[in-house]
Structure 1
Amino acid sequence: MKDNPSTVEKGDDFETRALGIILRLIESSQISHLSEHIKVYTRKDKGYYSSFRDSNIYFDITLEVWPPNSTRSSFNYFIECKNYGGPIPVGQISKFVEDVREVGGLNCKAIFISNTRLQKGGYNIAKNLGLMLIQGESAEDFKIVLNKSSQPNFKDEIPILKPTLDTSVIDDTVSPIIKLIDDVIRSAFKELEETRSSSYNIDKLSKKEIILKAETELKKFDPEMFTLGRAVNINSLKEYLKDTYDIDIKQFSSPINLLGNCDFDANTIGLNTSIVDTKRELFVLCHELGHFLLHSSLRIGQVTYQGFEDSKKNFRTGKRDLENPKNWIEWQANQFSSSFILPRAVFLARLWLYQDSLGLSRGKIYLDDQQDNQKRFSNFVHRLSLYFNVTKTSVIYKLNDMDLINDNSRIKSVGQILDQHSDEFGF
């Protein structure tokens, strides 16, 4: 009979599992495409010298973010995982914070993973100083306890350890990379949320969850997509859908504004003949693929579905309100399509390539009322549209969504440009 595992073995299993989740996601995710700017180390790979101790301090995982042409990192992530038989002592959190502050430099993000809750004092230290806390009751069950930043400019990001914050070295090149890393780390663990199940069996997936699903599918379709930074080939995608899901692509003519459809029973995706061989075809095809992968278990009839109103623009928030099942279904399919065709790391790398070719700094595209800047903006949009085989509207949406436009135009804002061309989507 096999002996029960010791406490040490259980602890090792928990820590190995927790750290393995992050490492696998880093290795398999889109940020590997930005390896020249993101350096990943484990405890075995690198120690950080402390002048106070005259020795190195080691962390379970560290990620360093290096801006282009920089001689040092401007952002560092420090990740520790601890397994305890009871509540985590205050001293463990204090030691982790002090270790990071001694060697981390500026703009450090500290992430502490434990198998049990923290003592109240330790929790308060983590909350007040800006740590991300992840708690797991077992090697298979994790939840994010502390996550969102209270710092005004970083509310949707993993918090920066307060004593290390220095915004002067955070530029438009670094910010998109930080957002990508934050999303990868968050997606590794389950967040505490209310159940997303609603009527009609619709999962109200968040934007980040849809991005993760799209990128997972994209890596199945083209395992080298993020490594080589290439665009989706529509003919190869059609072959993949047939070989993998036995989905047939059909064409139809329709007098109404219906660009595509999917039939779960017949296992077909229909494309309106008016968009075939145009820059709208790929987006519509992937929109319908999103329905196949996200909505095959829906319990809603076509008549009921068509009876719901389309989403309306909320002029206070600048976004569309999701008030009924149809709004959620179509929003999710649009998000899936955009994430599949224009994956963030590949999109960002291609933009940087164009900026490099013009001798411009990498980062946000500057847009104002000057003719030269408007012409440059249009040129970027045109080149990205050609490369990814999508409409210019799709490109502008992605640039806006990734906060890659520095909009100072007084005549026509990016939002007005999007509203002017929103009918191109047809959804």
Structure 2
Amino acid sequence: MEVEILSTYAKGDRFEEQVFDFLTREIDEGRFYFFRSDCCKIFRKKSYYSRDREDFIIFDIAVEVFLPGFDKPSLLVLIECKNYSGTVPVGDIEEFGSKISQVAGFNAKGIFASASAFQSGTLNIARNKGFSLLRYFDQSEFRWELPRALLTGARSARARKRAEIEHALTQPAFRPTVYSAYAVTPSGYTDGWEGIWKGLCLEDSFSEDELRLIRQPSPITTPRVIFISKDRIESLAEHVLKSISYIRGAVDLAKLVAKESDANGLTVSFLDDSSSVLGSITFSPLEIKIFAADSKSHLARFTLAHELGHHFESPRVS
């Protein structure tokens, strides 16, 4: 039992360090919302005074935003980090909301960050109490995936987006596809850090004149995802087709798969239909999964071509 408790603490510490390192990079590289790096400081295990306790509360991570020339921050972003083997219970969320409300003398915003899923009842509590719930994933867990929902018109795009984010927040078995962060904020649902900062209304802590003092002088243009131009995609496609001596007609996908299997170890599996996913690709190991009972169907062929596109656009492919 003691070993299990120590293991739980170790998991939590690693997750906290992961979130801290990410936010430190965001600040250092000028990507913490639109705030200048020299106006932000980040801490681990910093304490703030509670009027109710007449004592100090320690938070896992704290980001402080300062106006130039001031020693006291105008804004606090206080973050609690958890990595449970099960879902995060309602009680933990209620306790965190209470802790945020007790911080005296600051404009404090809160984020409860978890590597594991949240119980469904926690989402409304956080949103109504004015803080965010965040499920944050290690980028090594990423996979490219073609959701079946992309090909259906039963829901509006906005409703589908919300449903997908809520699914990511509450389902323990969920694994990320494109985004590392899924959150509910007081303003709604989001799948990116920029949306979290906007959803917390961080700029409301400052007047327009103050915002001009702490805003980045110019937009940060460092891309998070490598951009591939249309011409580059056309060039890649031409190179791929030449590699199998393509001339005309339907492309022989089996020939492409066989070539990539020999060159890069690619494997392709056809599995039973899935209600939510058409296909997925992982890069370590390099594997494509097609969820189609009939491997000869037009939908199976479309999905395989889609996932092969991710493979050939990957920088791993020379």
Q: Which structure dedicates a bigger proportion of its chain to strand?
A: 2
Q: Which structure dedicates a bigger proportion of its chain to helix?
A: 1
